[in-house]
Amino acid sequence: MEYDTKQKKEVMDELKKSPVALSASQIACNMKSTGASTVYRILTQAVSDGTVSMSVRGRTRYYSYLGGCHHLHATCMQCGAFIHLDDEISNDISNLLEKNGLAVSPESVISCLCPQCRGKK
Ligand SMILES: [Zn+2]
Ligand SMILES: [Zn+2]
């Protein structure tokens, strides 16, 4: 699949500077010259090569930049905060799932409620 390298870099930059997971349309809003369909195409490619993780909230897909992370990640179902888990916690979770025959990778994103959103309840 071909895409403009400069556009891809801009999409990745938007994800890198955001503390929360972003949807394709949110990214497109921040990028003046690039349409949502192009952003979506770039994101889909980045998910398949493991650069970006995808999580679903409601009916919308949200994306986060992974870079070279080797630990697991969590995303808040309410505010979309993207959390990098400690290596130690990641290993514990991986080992527990492994006992059930399940394999996880950095692209596996755990849906949860962050401390702030839990506090609001
Ligand atoms: Zn939250
Ligand atoms: Zn990470």
- Per-residue pLDDT 10s for the chain (121 aa) are 455 788 999 999 999 999 899 999 999 999 888 888 999 999 999 999 889 999 888 899 999 998 878 899 999 999 989 999 999 999 999 999 999 999 988 778 888 999 999 987 5
- Domain residue extents for the chain: 5-65, 73-120
Is the full-model pTM beyond 0.85? no
Fold exhibited by the domain 5-65 = Arc Repressor Mutant, subunit A (1.10.10)
| Ligand 2 geometric centre to CA of 15 (Å) | 13
Determine contact, residues 90/74, Cβ cutoff 8 Å: no
Of 72, 82, 78, the C-alpha closest to 107 is 72
| Ligand 2 geometric centre to CA of 93 (Å) | 15
| Ligand 1 geometric centre to CA of 55 (Å) | 14
| Ligand 1 geometric centre to CA of 2 (Å) | 36
| Ligand 2 geometric centre to CA of 101 (Å) | 23
- Are 5-65 and 73-120 in the same CATH fold? no
Which residue reads 């692209």 in tokens? 107
Fold exhibited by the domain 73-120 = Dna Ligase; domain 1 (3.30.1490)
